[in-house]
Structure 1
């Protein structure tokens, strides 16, 4: 399938990472399930995708509250990242997004805006040989209010020196699209893995 962009004379592309550049969401879900199983915690796939774009610490806290658990947030975060990184050799780029990266690289500046840690974003992009394509990475810890707040996208635009209205955002989640819209940016929705498989 072809990812059709909205009309506009854009001066920068801003990308979410997981599920947008990197086809990593199935791998992330498997990593979550492997770790959470230690505490008898369930994280159904439907809920996992519904919570896409949320910071990992918030996900652990909400799972604790919903299921009456007391999982240690930092430990779960670390183990989830370890499980994910072990599976990185099998991860690939989202082809429809990669095509736009290849087409616009060198003409437009790129940024990543992710709710993931800098370590996770860096290892994912490095595994695909794409890290050097991005002028800046905006990751968890670089901003205080997660998506759907526009803070991360506005910070990326400032770092690139491009007005928000001149940025195009690539996102795979509702929260991400809401954040882009709140930032005054156009957005293109990247289909989820099963939606891409249907075409």
Structure 2
């Protein structure tokens, strides 16, 4: 993305909450490849739609769902979510140098920095989020960063967004969420927050 114009949000907004993957950083193509390569090791030809439908969910949750969906293919065995995630995340991280920021979203965060509380609320683990934010030059912008490592119900539960609002000391109805995944949009709605689906905005 080259357009660095900021994105709009309601005038009465008191805090901004940003997803990371696919929202602040254009990481999703690289995550998809890492997923597909990792599942291919187990003889599974993973369709991209499987990941697209689960954007924003923690990696271990996605592996558990795959265990159910591909139970017969796996011959009754189950993939170890923790071990699988380590392999998958390593495959993603070796591609980090290719990741670009999604400029309009990052510009929005930069413009808000110092003027209102802002947070990252991600389904990825803390190490991946930290390295991604550092790579795009955004690691200094956010007062709060919540990841899959925090013991909070993940998207599509609203709890992860409500916890961000609590930590920022801002009422949920005054928070605006920037998201690119359906589970995140569902969570934002359930939390009573306004939201922007960046997929729709950036495709215009």
Q: Decide: shared fold, TM above 0.5.
A: yes
Tell me which stretches of 4 or more aligned residues in structure 1 moved more than 2 Å: 1-8
Mean CA deviation greater in 118-127 or 141-150: 141-150
Contact 1:122 1:131 in 2 (8 A): yes
Name whichever structure is richer in helix by fraction.
1
Residue 25, structure 1, aligned to residue 35, structure 2? no
Cα distance in 2 between the residues matched to 1:114 and 1:4: 20
1:54·1:115 contact (CA, 8 Å) conserved in 2? yes
CA distance in 2, matches of 1:156, 1:143: 13
> Take 2:135 and 2:175, find their aligned partners in 1: how far apart are those partners?
26
Give the superposition deviation at 1:99: 2.1
Q: Answer whether contact 1:3 1:190 (CA < 8 A) is retained.
A: no
In the alignment, is the contact (CA less than 8 A) between 2:175 and 2:194 conserved in 1?
A: yes
* 2-structure distance, mates of 1:81, 1:173: 19
The aligned counterpart of 1:132 is: 140
Among 5, 12, 20, the alignment partner of 2:15 is 12
After TM superposition, the structure 1 = structure 2 runs for residues 61-80 of structure 1, keeping only pairs within 5 Å, are 61-68=64-71, 69=74, 70-80=78-88
Relative to the length of structure 1, the TM-score reads 0.92
2:96 alignment counterpart: 88
- SS for the counterpart of 2:173 is helix
Q: How many residues align?
A: 196
Q: Is structure 2 residue 107 aligned with structure 1 residue 103?
A: no
> What RMSD, in angstroms, separates the aligned Cα atoms of the two structures?
1.7
- Give the structure-2-normalised TM-score: 0.90
Corresponding residue number in structure 1 for 2:170 = 162
Q: Distance in 2 between matches of 1:90 and 1:157?
A: 32
Q: SS at 1:191's partner residue?
A: helix
Q: 1:44 aligns with which of 37, 41, 47?
A: 47
Aligned to 1:186: 194
Candidates 139, 154, 174, aligned match of 1:146: 154
